[in-house]
Amino acid sequence: MKISIILAHPDPASLNHAIARTAEAGLRANGHDVILHDLYAERFDPILNASEISETVPVPPEIERYGAEISSADGIVIVHPNWWGQPPAILKGWIDRVLRPGVAYRFLDEDTGEGIPIGLLKAKAAVIFNTANTPSERERNVFGDPLQQIWGNCIFELCGIKEFHREIFTVVVTSSPEQRREWLDHVREIMDQYFPRRL
Amino acid sequence: MKISIILAHPDPASLNHAIARTAEAGLRANGHDVILHDLYAERFDPILNASEISETVPVPPEIERYGAEISSADGIVIVHPNWWGQPPAILKGWIDRVLRPGVAYRFLDEDTGEGIPIGLLKAKAAVIFNTANTPSERERNVFGDPLQQIWGNCIFELCGIKEFHREIFTVVVTSSPEQRREWLDHVREIMDQYFPRRL
């Protein structure tokens, strides 16, 4: 399988980076082709300009490449911290620019844009790893955990991906080295579960 | 009153720009001091780097200025399209960088960062105007309307702003000029309601 990992955290020493590297190692050990995009290291430009909005316009070559890659991925893994119930801006920009009409979804011909789009991504599963400093209960009860809707309903379901798993590691700021090691072991288990070794 | 308007849409001919200008005109007519930030026109850099995360570090002067302004605002108006149940990346970056610890919220001294922060913004009300191409019922029932939680619970309540109003104009793509005119009249009414003329 061809798996894309998208990582959005500014600190290479972060738990997010460790999660992405652990996922990558597990996927490679299972025999998959893996591309890991560290959006900060790649200096991804998150600004969607007006000239790029229409489905039919040409887009910059790097956006073409990101789009071609996500279109052909058999699996998608996304790693980011929960910042204000949302992804960091750099990842929001990846969503805005890469998950374009014609790449990630399209409208039916008779539709004028307000209707129900058809998902175009062919990945069999998408896995999200989030880190947070809010206890899970407070995230659900006080904040409503918008990332669950964002990734599950607004993005992956709309883009045609049926299987979706989200794992939240929290509270990071007060976590022990043992806790972090357990979390990374769990990352490996989830990779084995969703993207097992081919027989 | 001192009111900050934050606008995030790439097209100066958009309904979003018309909403922001209508809000600005109404607020000025009511005698308020208004600053309108068009984040695209200002080429706001949305990337939060690792060096800016800690509360105690110095930040670039433009981020200081945005922070000082939002700290002293008596009212906040935010205008943006619903892109994937979230704001555009440029506005997400404004949230990430400007609503800093020490500016928008702070933790109690005995807290190590995982606890419940105290809101620092003093604005008496915040108003969000969203545009969308999804019918309201589908937004609520299929997508779960994450922007309501994001702005209401995750951001404004956490930052100490008690009064919050969100208005959604949809479906924009198929709307008539008359419909848009009605929407803009309603923007004016909402400004009069939340930020009336001083007596």
Domain-wise residue ranges, chain A: 2-194
Q: B114–A134: do the CB atoms touch at under 8 Å? A: yes
**For chain B, what is the mean pLDDT?**
96
Looking at chain B, the whole-number percentage of residues with pLDDT higher than 70 is 98
| Cis bond upstream, residue A142 (ω within 30) | no
Show residues of chain A in contact with B90, CB under 8 Å. Answer: 46-47, 89
CB atoms within 10 A of CB B64: 14
Residue A199 has pLDDT above 90, yes or no: no
Looking at chain B, the whole-number percentage of residues with pLDDT higher than 90 is 92
Please report the pLDDT score of residue A108 as a whole number: 83
pLDDT: which is higher, A114 or B126: B126
pLDDT digits (tens, 9 = 90+) for B123-168: 999 999 999 999 999 999 999 999 999 999 999 999 999 999 999 9
Please report the pLDDT score of residue A12 as a whole number: 98
Residue B54 contacts A, CB cutoff 8 Å? no
Residue B132 contacts A, CB cutoff 8 Å? no
Show residues of chain B in contact with A93, CB under 8 Å. Answer: 46, 89
Residue B81 contacts A, CB cutoff 8 Å? no
Q: Find the range with the poorest average confidence among B32-36, B55-59, B90-94, B166-170.
A: B55-59
Please report the pLDDT score of residue A92 as a whole number: 98
- Terminal C-alpha separation, chain B: 12
Binned at pLDDT 50, 70 and 90, residue A114 comes out as low
pLDDT digits (tens, 9 = 90+) for A7-40: 999 999 999 999 999 999 999 999 999 999 999 9
Q: Cα torsion for B9, B93, B167, B159, to the nearest 10°?
A: -160
Task: Give the nearest chain B residue to A132 (CA atoms).
Answer: B114
**For chain A, what is the mean pLDDT?**
96
| Residues 6+ positions from B32 with CB-CB distance below 8 Å | B1, B2, B3, B75, B195
| Residues 6+ positions from B23 with CB-CB distance below 8 Å | B5, B77, B79, B127, B129, B187, B188, B191
Residue B84 contacts A, CB cutoff 8 Å? yes
Q: Tell the residue number behind the tokens 């149940």, with chain if given.
A: B85
Phi, psi of A172 (to 5 degrees): -75, -40
∠ CA A195-A46-B187, rounded to 5°: 115
| Residues 6+ positions from B67 with CB-CB distance below 8 Å | B59, B98, B100, B103, B104
Alpha-carbon span B160 to B70, nearest angstrom: 13
Alpha-carbon span A83 to B100, nearest angstrom: 11
Phi, psi of A148 (to 5 degrees): -65, -45
Show residues of chain A in contact with B49, CB under 8 Å. Answer: 10, 40
Q: B95–A85: do the CB atoms touch at under 8 Å? A: no
pLDDT digits (tens, 9 = 90+) for B82-96: 999 999 999 999 999
Residue A101 contacts B, CB cutoff 8 Å? no
Mean of pLDDT values over A92-102? 97
Count of all residues that appear for chain A in the document: 199
Mean of pLDDT values over A86-91? 98
Note whether ipTM > 0.90 here: yes
Residue B48 has pLDDT above 80, yes or no: yes
Task: Give the nearest chain B residue to A45 (CA atoms).
Answer: B47
Looking at chain A, the whole-number percentage of residues with pLDDT higher than 70 is 98
**Strand, helix or coil at A129?**
strand
Mean of pLDDT values over B161-182? 97
pLDDT: which is higher, A108 or A99: A99
Residue A142 has pLDDT above 70, yes or no: yes
Residue B110 has pLDDT above 80, yes or no: no
Q: Are strands A75-81 and A2-7 parallel, antiparallel or unpaired?
A: parallel
Closest Cα in chain A, distance from residue B37 (Å) = 16
Residue B175 contacts A, CB cutoff 8 Å? no
For helices A89-98 and B89-98, the axis angle rounded to 10 degrees is: 180
Q: Find the range with the poorest average confidence among A33-42, A100-109, B35-44, B174-183.
A: A100-109
The CATH number corresponding to B2-194 among 3.30.110.40, 3.40.50.360, 3.30.470.10, 3.40.50.150 equals 3.40.50.360
Residue A109 has pLDDT above 90, yes or no: no
The greatest distance separating any two alpha carbons of chain B, rounded to the nearest whole angstrom, comes to 56
Show residues of chain A in contact with B146, CB under 8 Å. Answer: 85, 144, 146-147, 149-150, 154
Q: B146–A143: do the CB atoms touch at under 8 Å? A: no
Please report the pLDDT score of residue A107 as a whole number: 86
Count of all residues that appear for chain B in the document: 199
Looking at chain A, the whole-number percentage of residues with pLDDT higher than 90 is 92
